[in-house]
């Protein structure tokens, strides 16, 4: 069987399609307009031929490759197959030599049927399709490639961790070190201490499998972290000065934006440096990937706080428990922890505005639940109701060193509001219990499933860097690990979509008000409509 592949708008050498014979017709490299390259080559599905000519390309347009495959037949004019490709070092270093992957000799992979990921393997972003629908966006499947662009003894890798903590960071650090060492025989690995600013202001640590052997059993980050201090030029100067050629960057949305800038500067300077981002966020606010590491651990640990709140309020009359969970802009932990629990009466998240007074409001719902059960538990994400809190506290907006908005304590505020309302207005005695376990949750080591997930992330990152990809993020898309362009994971924040079924499932489970009807709801409906318009704009721009 043969597959025909044509590339449209690609200005980059498709690195792992090195088997294709490609003849460029145009040397134009600028333009945002998709340009069709006459690249239409019959290639055997798995064993592909050597490249004779690569199109000379500017990296700018490499990102969107539209390929159409049709089993040896003329490609269908437009089956809508889009490959969002990641940059490769040969984009700007076309003469870079490659070597056979040492995994060929590895005992770990000795009996694996397909040790290497084929250049044809891609992961679909959307797996719910209809008959006749376009094939849509795909990403390169992560994993080892037949050829590597670094000799093991010339690799000098470094690892840095930035932003807030989350369970599993140490497992990722450990598995990058062990993966580089055990799979590729790399022994020159540095730890950059204290986040981005550590590149230019701190000493490095030498990382060996022995040094990192036990760190996955601890929470936090063995390398320390920080916010702020991203200075692209100074960081890349330092990378260059130290002769580092693989940079593993573990961090959230802010960190990934920084990683993209580092990659661009590396490319501008023409350095053979693989920049690999590993997404870290307890909030699960990173787009495209299924979920972030540490998230499951956080949800599990949150159960302890919710259960404690439930025990407390069940043991008194008119007990109202409030549990605050993390989630600056995205209420995933609160939503999933609530769905997991069953003792939560109401979940409040940043994406779903709520109101207190009047029909359909929170006070009315609390009173109803107290009448029915004599107690209730509210889970609130830290970013929920921030505008509400700011109004009543007349607070001015302050930011952290990375430019993130510093949040007001909505849990304390809500506790006080409920107390005031029931004591002064309703003349009822209530027992308020407020639990803030946020940092306790974030600081624990990762659970078993997150440890496995962290291992896959780390190994995928190592395979990608060794294969010469640079400026990529790794993560699961529909359960398959993929290489994703960094800009794709930073352009949009992943938030709970109120219009998706998961939020409806939660509302159906808790039977709480949706806050979309009633006196205070008008603004919420408007907000929802605006949100939906923004979401649609994002979808159509993809
Ligand atoms: N737009 C940006 N460009 C470059 N660096 C950034 C950007 N946003 C954040 N950073 C850097 O990334 C690091 C972590 O960012 P932060 O927002 O604190 O955490 P997280 O990466 O977990 O979201 C900080 O050192 C910060 O300076
Ligand atoms: O660690 P800090 O600076 O107190 O920040 C707390 C924030 O960090 C987080 O835990 C994670 O945020 P990041 O992923 O952006 O680092 C948020 O949930 C929370 O709002
Ligand atoms: Mg962030």
- Per-residue pLDDT reduced to its tens digit, 413-446: 999 999 999 999 999 999 999 999 999 999 999 9
Closest residue by Cα to atom 8, ligand 1, is: 254
pLDDT for the residue 79 = 87
Q: Domain for residue 415, yes or no?
A: yes
Q: For residue 531, what is the domain's CATH number?
A: 3.40.50.460
Which among 160, 167, 221, 230 is the best mutation to test ligand 1's pocket, defined by most ligand atoms within 8 Å of the CB?
A: 230
Count of domains for the chain: 2
pLDDT for the residue 20 = 31
Q: Which ligand is nearest to the CA of 259?
A: 1
Distance 166 CA to ligand 2 centre (A): 9
Ligand 3 being an ion, which residues bring their Cβ within 5 A of it? 252-254
pLDDT for the residue 419 = 97
Whether pLDDT at 318 is above 50: yes
User: Among the atoms of ligand 2, which is closest to the Cα of residue 404?
Assistant: 15
Assess whether 438 and 457 both reside in one domain: no
Distance 237 CA to ligand 1 centre (A): 19
User: Residue written as tokens 């320390």?
Assistant: 224
Residue 296 to residue 84: CA distance in whole angstroms: 28
Quick check: CB of 262 below 6 Å from ligand 1? no
Quick check: CB of 230 below 6 Å from ligand 1? yes
Mean pLDDT value of segment 303-327: 98
Pocket-forming residues, ligand 2, beta carbon under 6 Å: 163-164, 227, 252, 254, 281-283, 326-328, 382, 400, 442
Three-state SS letters, 357-402: CCCCCHHHHHHHHHHHHCEEEEEEECCCCHHHHHHHHCCCCCECCC
Distance 227 CA to ligand 1 centre (A): 6
Assess whether 412 and 395 both reside in one domain: yes
Whether pLDDT at 13 is above 50: no
Binding residues for substrate: 281-283, 326-328, 382, 439-442
Contact between 533 and 499 (Cβ < 8 Å)? no
Closest residue by Cα to atom 13, ligand 2, is: 164
Residue 16 to residue 65: CA distance in whole angstroms: 13
Other beta carbons within 10 angstroms of residue 243's beta carbon come to 10
pLDDT for the residue 77 = 55
Q: Which two tokens stand for residue 398?
A: 């302050």
User: Among the atoms of ligand 2, which is closest to the Cα of residue 283?
Assistant: 18
User: Residue written as tokens 């972003």?
Assistant: 125
Q: Which ligand is nearest to the CA of 327?
A: 2
In 168-243, at which residue ranges do the beta strands (DSSP E only) sit? Answer: 189-192, 204-206
Which among 197, 255, 262 is the best mutation to test ligand 1's pocket, defined by most ligand atoms within 8 Å of the CB?
A: 255
pLDDT for the residue 269 = 98
Assess whether 262 and 172 both reside in one domain: yes
- Per-residue pLDDT reduced to its tens digit, 220-255: 999 999 999 999 999 999 999 999 999 999 999 999
**Could you tell me which residue, 518 or 103, shows the higher pLDDT?**
103
Whether pLDDT at 90 is above 60: yes
Binding residues: 164, 227-228, 252-255, 281-283, 326-328, 382, 439-442
Mean pLDDT value of segment 102-123: 91
Binding residues for Mg(2+): 253
Assess whether 327 and 268 both reside in one domain: no
Q: Domain for residue 91, yes or no?
A: yes
3-state class (DSSP) for residue 280: strand
Residue 279 to residue 288: CA distance in whole angstroms: 11
Q: Domain for residue 27, yes or no?
A: no
Assess whether 243 and 192 both reside in one domain: yes
Closest residue by Cα to atom 17, ligand 1, is: 254
Q: How far is CA 309 from CA 84, 89, 375, 433, in A?
A: 46, 53, 10, 7
**Could you tell me which residue, 407 or 44, shows the higher pLDDT?**
407
Assess whether 225 and 332 both reside in one domain: no
Assess whether 367 and 460 both reside in one domain: no
Closest residue by Cα to atom 1, ligand 1, is: 257
Looking only at the bridges linking them, the beta strands covering 2-8 and 36-44 are antiparallel
Rounded to the nearest 10 degrees, what angle do helices 332-341 and 501-510 cross at?
Answer: 40
**Could you tell me which residue, 267 or 390, shows the higher pLDDT?**
267
Quick check: CB of 194 below 6 Å from ligand 1? no
Torsion of CA 386, 387, 392, 396, to 10 degrees: 90
Other beta carbons within 10 angstroms of residue 180's beta carbon come to 28
Q: Domain for residue 261, yes or no?
A: yes
pLDDT band at residue 18 under the 50/70/90 scheme: very low
- The mean predicted confidence, pLDDT, of the chain is 85
Q: Domain of residue 412: give its range.
A: 295-443+503-536
pLDDT for the residue 525 = 57
Q: Domain for residue 382, yes or no?
A: yes
> Among 419, 400, 392, 384, which Cα is nearest to 496's?
384
Assess whether 427 and 364 both reside in one domain: yes
Whether pLDDT at 71 is above 50: no
Quick check: CB of 255 below 6 Å from ligand 1? yes
> Among 335, 336, 354, 289, which Cα is nearest to 490's?
289
Mean pLDDT value of segment 65-84: 58
Whether pLDDT at 316 is above 90: yes
Bin 478: left if φ > 0, else alpha if -120 < ψ < 50, else beta.
left
Q: How far is CA 67 from CA 3, 205, 270, 497, in A?
A: 11, 44, 28, 31
Residue 325 to residue 331: CA distance in whole angstroms: 9
- Percent of the chain at pLDDT > 90 equals 75
pLDDT for the residue 397 = 77
Assess whether 198 and 316 both reside in one domain: no
Q: Which two tokens stand for residue 255?
A: 């960190």
pLDDT for the residue 520 = 62
Distance 479 CA to ligand 3 centre (A): 23
Q: Domain for residue 203, yes or no?
A: yes
Other beta carbons within 10 angstroms of residue 29's beta carbon come to 16
Q: Which ligand is nearest to the CA of 254?
A: 1
Assess whether 150 and 215 both reside in one domain: yes
Choose, from 95, 153, 231, 283, the residue flagged as catalytic: 283
- Per-residue pLDDT reduced to its tens digit, 463-477: 999 999 999 999 999
Mean pLDDT value of segment 499-521: 89
pLDDT for the residue 41 = 30
Whether pLDDT at 193 is above 70: yes
Residue 283 is among the residues annotated as catalytic for this protein: yes
Quick check: CB of 164 below 6 Å from ligand 1? yes
Assess whether 338 and 255 both reside in one domain: no
Q: Domain for residue 275, yes or no?
A: yes
Q: Domain for residue 241, yes or no?
A: yes
Residue 305 to residue 154: CA distance in whole angstroms: 49
Closest residue by Cα to atom 12, ligand 2, is: 164
Closest residue by Cα to atom 13, ligand 1, is: 255
User: Among the atoms of ligand 1, which is closest to the Cα of residue 280?
Assistant: 22
- Give the best-scoring range by mean pLDDT among 50-54, 502-506, 526-530: 502-506
Mean pLDDT value of segment 320-346: 97
Comparing 86-100, 174-188, 331-345, 382-396, the range with the smallest average pLDDT is 382-396
In 181-233, at which residue ranges do the beta strands (DSSP E only) sit? Answer: 189-192, 204-206
Assess whether 420 and 482 both reside in one domain: no
Whether pLDDT at 331 is above 60: yes
Helix (H) or strand (E) holding 243: none
Contacts of 196 (CB under 8 A, 6+ apart): 160, 162, 226, 229, 230, 231, 235, 255, 258
Q: For residue 202, what is the domain's CATH number?
A: 3.40.50.450
Distance 440 CA to ligand 1 centre (A): 23
pLDDT for the residue 69 = 37
Quick check: CB of 195 below 6 Å from ligand 1? yes
- Per-residue pLDDT reduced to its tens digit, 450-461: 999 999 999 999
Closest residue by Cα to atom 10, ligand 2, is: 164
């Amino acid at each position: 069987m043969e597959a025909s592949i044509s590339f449209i708008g690609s200005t980059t050498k498709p690195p792992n399609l090195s088997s294709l014979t490609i003849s460029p017709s145009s040397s134009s490299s600028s333009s945002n307009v998709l340009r069709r390259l006459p690249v239409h080559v019959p290639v055997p599905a798995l064993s592909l031929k050597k490249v004779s000519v690569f199109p000379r390309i500017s990296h700018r347009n490499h990102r969107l490759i539209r390929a159409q495959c049709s089993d040896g037949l003329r490609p269908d004019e437009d089956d809508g197959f889009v490959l969002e490709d990641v940059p490769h070092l040969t984009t700007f270093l076309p003469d870079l030599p490659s070597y056979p992957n040492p995994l060929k000799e590895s005992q770990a992979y000795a009996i694996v049927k397909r040790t290497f990921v084929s250049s044809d393997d891609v992961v679909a972003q959307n797996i719910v399709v209809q008959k006749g629908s376009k094939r849509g966006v795909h990403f390169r499947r992560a994993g080892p490639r037949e050829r590597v662009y670094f000799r093991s003894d010339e690799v000098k890798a470094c690892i840095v961790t930035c932003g807030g903590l989350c369970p599993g960071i140490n497992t990722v650090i450990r598995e990058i070190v062990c993966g580089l060492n055990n799979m590729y025989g790399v022994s020159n690995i540095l730890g950059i201490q204290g986040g981005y600013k550590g590149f230019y202001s701190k000493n490095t640590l030498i990382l060996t499998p022995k040094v990192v052997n036990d760190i996955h059993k601890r929470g936090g980050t063995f390398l320390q972290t920080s916010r702020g201090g991203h200075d692209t030029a100074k960081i890349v100067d330092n990378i260059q000065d130290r002769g580092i050629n693989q940079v593993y960057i573990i961090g959230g949305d802010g960190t990934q934006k920084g990683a993209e800038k580092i990659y661009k500067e590396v490319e501008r300077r023409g350095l053979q440096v693989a920049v690999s981002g590993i997404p870290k966020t307890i909030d699960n606010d990173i787009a495209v990937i299924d979920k972030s590491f540490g998230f499951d651990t956080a949800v599990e640990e949150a159960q302890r706080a919710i259960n404690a709140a439930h025990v407390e309020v069940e043991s008194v009359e008119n007990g109202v428990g409030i549990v605050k969970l993390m989630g600056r802009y995205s209420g995933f932990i609160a939503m999933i922890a609530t769905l997991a629990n069953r003792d939560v009466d109401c979940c409040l998240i940043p994406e779903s505005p709520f109101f207190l007074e009047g029909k359909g409001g929170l006070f009315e719902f609390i009173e109803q639940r107290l009448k029915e059960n004599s107690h209730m538990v509210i889970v609130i994400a830290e970013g929920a109701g921030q505008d509400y809190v700011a109004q009543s506290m007349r607070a001015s907006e302050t930011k952290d060193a990375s430019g993130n908005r510093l949040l007001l304590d909505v849990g304390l505020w809500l506790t006080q509001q409920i107390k005031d309302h029931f004591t002064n207005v309703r003349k009822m005695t209530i027992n308020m219990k407020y639990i803030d376990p946020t940092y306790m949750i974030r600081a624990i080591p990762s659970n078993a499933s997150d440890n496995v997930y962290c291992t896959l992330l780390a190994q995928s990152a190592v395979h990608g860097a060794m294969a010469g990809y640079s400026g990529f993020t790794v993560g699961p898309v529909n359960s398959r690990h993929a290489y994703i362009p960094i800009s794709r994971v930073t352009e949009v924040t992943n938030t709970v979509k109120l219009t998706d079924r998961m939020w409806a499932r939660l509302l159906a489970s808790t039977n709480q008000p949706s806050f979309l009807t009633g006196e205070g709801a008008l603004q919420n409906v408007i907000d929802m409509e605006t949100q939906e318009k923004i979401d649609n704009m994002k979808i159509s721009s993809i």
